[in-house]
Chain A
Amino acid sequence: MSTMTSAPAAARQAPRTTPAQRMLALARAELTLLGRSKGTLVMALFVPLVMPFSVRAGASEMDLEGTGLSVGSVVLPGAIGFSLLFAVYSALVNVYAARREELVLKRLRTGELRDAEILAGAALPSVAVGLLQSVLLAAGCVALLDVGAPEAPHYAVLGLLLGLALWPVLAAATASFSRSVENAQVAAMPLLLLSFFGSGTMVPLEVMPDRVAAVCELLPLTPVVELIRGGWTGDLSAADALGALAVTVAWIGVGVFAVRRWFRWEPRR
């Protein structure tokens, strides 16, 4: 067909951007946007900090005799769970739906950012908020609820990191099934409710009937809560920890599959 010659002009090579640079540039813009979105901000910052008080009220009434749990070890993992659900998951479902609606995702895909970088870069500020919040909640619970230092801190850290990796993926997967921004919150509801009641944030699995607990262990938030709780109480066996890890990794796999398969980059017309 045609002959290709490399003209001198083509040889001019500007330094290429790296994935990290690109994601940080996007994350910076998203952080600015987060600061300007009052609704998201209230939900992300306020709710996870208030919810623990209601959990605490409930936990004081619970019959924790024989479960090896204290009020603090019920409240803290639950509080971190709420942070993941609101500051990370719910906020990001909104972000992805809104950026799609405004055709921002479509425009970003025309640049050097790859698809995964777009989703990850947009998630960074919310993930940072979730991380910061979790650390604050842990410090707060240690100071106020007499939780004591964690017995197996590595489990707690593993649980938190897994949670911070998993929930953005689930947010993107959820956004795949919502048509609009208004719809996004509705799409997020099932997983939010299921996690509230089934993942040990409000009620620890230890006080549930065995059969119910067995099913609830497979929910995406449960292993995170279990790992963090085990990190504090120190009575999580290595086998249970491995099981929790496996469940989370499986959910990440399901989420990634769903995103690759169904995520839409522009609004349906």
Chain B
Amino acid sequence: MTEQVIDVDGLRRTYAGGFEAVRGISFTVARGELFALLGTNGAGKTSTVEVLEGLTAPAAGHVRVLGHDPYRERNEVRPRIGMMLQEGGFPSELTVTETARMWAGCTSGARPVGDALEAVGLGRRGGTRVKQLSGGEKRRLDLAMALIGDPEVLFLDEPTTGLDAEGRRETWELVRALRERGTTVLLTTHYLEEAEQLADRLAILHEGRIAAAGTVADVVATQPSRISFELPDGYFLGDLPPLAALGVTGHELTGRTVRLRTDTLQRSATELLLWARRNGVELRGLDIRAATLEEAFLRIAREMAGTEGTSGGHGASGAHRASGTGEVLEKETA
């Protein structure tokens, strides 16, 4: 039996003025799992995480972290979690070591300051004032403080926003190492690659609702793969073998370019190529492409925009919903 370290049920968050940033979401995160909340700016990621961190109470629904209400039972929860805000500061006139010493003094079971700084590569920067650190170094100091108490659960709100490619990769390495050690991590990001690289499971948030959830593979599987090529000279669409028999679920013709969509990429591609060999034709511009998280993400955003005002998503079952009604954009193959 796996332990649910984070349990969110029907969470809603409403701001003064009536704006509902989070509109009833549910998900769970098991111990040792790395869970990503993926979404565009304004999707409700930070609003969600702030409730999980116990910084504010939900408007409705309930949230449990390590079996406790993180807001009302903060004394039980805080010593066991670590968090890094999207933006949060340390006094600019303190040195790195002084900052870490302060934070360690406020954290149960804090590791030695030197070790904590070493872990994020700031070991040699101890005597430097915070104001003299680069943006990336500040983020790493922030991360070091989030980790100093060896938390069981770590919340990272857009940990790599503002970092250069190298800084991003270093942060990923660090996060992976944490997961290896069994730390449960919940991170928010608007970088698809970040979610793809790190997450065991993810939820795509869109306008305060979960549009899809599951492993990267689960979410991608809700999206069809694509085959495109140019129709050979003298051939018409009807000259292709029956598309349904190829496993093609949708098609499109723009000029002479054919685009096929399929949930069974290997079968469709094989049949198509065999047909081409039998007829001795060359399929110019042939492009066979498995679905990616990016496509899934963009499509979900488009779809949600299209269905705005109707029911929208239904919590974590969104992935399955999307697979059922996902083919609304182009004409169906009969």
Residues of A within 8 A of B (CB): 1-7, 9-10, 14-17, 21-22, 24-26, 28-29, 32-33, 36-37, 99, 102-104, 106-113
Q: Is the CB of A112 within 8 A of B108?
A: yes
> Is A4 within 8 A of B67, CB to CB?
yes
* Interface residue B9 (Cβ < 8 Å from any Cβ of A): yes
Give the CA-CA distance A107 to B104 in the complex, in Å. 14
Bound-state CA distance A37–B93 (Å) is 9
Q: Is B87 an interface residue (CB 8 A)?
A: yes
Interface SS of chain B: helix, strand, loop or mixed? Answer: loop
Q: Are A104 and B7 in contact (CB under 8 A)?
A: no
Render B1-23 as a binary contact track against A, CB cut-off 8 A, 1 for contact. 10110010100000000000000
State which of B78, B94, B98, B152 has its C-beta within 8 Å of the C-beta of A112. B78
A1 touching B102, Cβ below 8 Å: no
Q: Which of A10, A106, A112 has the most CB of B within 10 A?
A: A112
Asked if B94 and A4 make an inter-chain contact with CB atoms under 8 angstroms apart, the answer reads no
User: Most chain-B CB neighbours within 10 Å: which of A14, A24, A37?
Assistant: A14
Is B182 within 8 A of A25, CB to CB? no
Interface residue from A5, A17, A29, A37 paired with B107 (Cβ < 8 Å): A17
Apart from A6-B67, A22-B105, what 5 extra A-B contacts exist at CB < 8 Å? A1-B28, A3-B4, A9-B182, A25-B104, A29-B98
State which of A17, A26, A28, A108 has its C-beta within 8 Å of the C-beta of B79: A17
- Tell me if B106 is interfacial: C-beta within 8 Å of chain A: yes
How far, in whole Å, are A7 and B67 apart by their CA atoms in the complex?
A: 11
Contact of B3 among A1, A4, A14, A37 (CB under 8 A): A4
A117 CB to nearest B CB, Å: 9
CB within 8 Å for A5 and B105 given contacts A29-B98, A104-B90: no
Is the pair A33, B94 in contact by a Cβ cutoff of 8 Å? yes
Q: Report the minimal beta-carbon distance from A94 to chain B, rounded to whole angstroms.
A: 13
Q: Check if B106 sits within 8 Å of A112, measured CB to CB.
A: yes
Residues on B facing A (Cβ under 8 Å): 1, 3-4, 7, 9, 28, 31, 53, 55, 64, 66-67, 78-80, 83, 85, 87-94, 98-99, 101-109, 142, 145, 149-150, 152, 182
Are B89 and A112 neighbours in the complex by a CB distance under 8 Å?
no
Q: B92 to chain A: which residues have CB within 8 Å?
A: 102
**Do A29 and B94 touch (CB < 8 A)?**
yes
Complex: A99 Cα to B94 Cα, angstroms: 12
- Given A5-B1, A112-B107: A36 and B93 within 8 A (CB)? yes
A14 vs B78: C-alpha distance when bound (angstroms): 12
B7 to chain A: which residues have CB within 8 Å?
A: 1-2
CA distance A104 to B106 in the complex (A): 14
Question: Across the interface, do B182 and A111 meet the contact criterion of CB distance under 8 Å?
Answer: no
Residues from chain A with Cβ under 8 Å of B3 in the complex: 3-7, 10
Question: Closest CB of chain A to B17's CB: distance in Å?
Answer: 14
Given contacts A16-B79, A37-B93, A109-B55, contact A7 B31 (CB under 8 A): yes
| Top-8 shortest CB links A-B | A25-B105, A14-B109, A103-B89, A107-B88, A2-B4, A29-B102, A102-B89, A22-B106
Listed A/B pairs (25) with beta-carbon separation below 8 Å: A1-B4, A10-B152, A14-B109, A15-B109, A16-B108, A17-B105, A25-B102, A26-B105, A26-B106, A29-B91, A29-B101, A32-B93, A33-B91, A33-B94, A102-B92, A103-B89, A104-B91, A106-B88, A107-B85, A107-B88, A107-B145, A111-B107, A112-B78, A112-B106, A112-B108
Residue of B nearest to A99 (CB): B91
Name the residue of chain B whose CB is nearest to the CB of A102.
B89
Q: Assess whether A17 is in contact with B99, with CB atoms less than 8 Å apart.
A: no
Q: Which residues of the partner chain A approach B78 to less than 8 Å between Cβ atoms?
A: 111-112
Contact of A110 among B28, B53, B101, B182 (CB under 8 A): B53
A10-B152, A111-B103 known; A103-B88 Cβ under 8 A: yes
Contacts of B67 in A (CB 8 A): 4, 6
Given A107-B85, A112-B79, the answer on whether A29 and B53 have CB atoms closer than 8 Å is no
Q: Which residue of B lies closest to A112 (CB)?
A: B78
- Cβ A28 vs Cβ B102 within 8 A: yes
Across the interface, do A1 and B101 meet the contact criterion of CB distance under 8 Å? no
Which residue of chain B has its CB nearest to the CB of A109? B55
B93 adjacent to A14 (CB under 8 Å):
no
By a CB distance below 8 angstroms, the chain B residues around A104 are 89-91
User: A102–B89 Cα gap in the complex (Å)?
Assistant: 6
Closest B-chain residue to A18, C-beta based? B108
Interface pair B149/A102, CB less than 8 Å apart: no
Contacts of A102 in B (CB 8 A): 89-92
By the criterion CB–CB under 8 Å, are B91 and A25 in contact?
no
A251 to chain B, nearest CB (A): 29
Check if B85 sits within 8 Å of A33, measured CB to CB.
no
Given contacts A7-B31, A111-B78, contact A33 B93 (CB under 8 A): yes
Residues of chain B within 8 A (CB-CB) of A5 are: 1, 3
Q: Given the complex, which residues of A lie within 8 Å of B94, measured CB to CB?
A: 29, 32-33
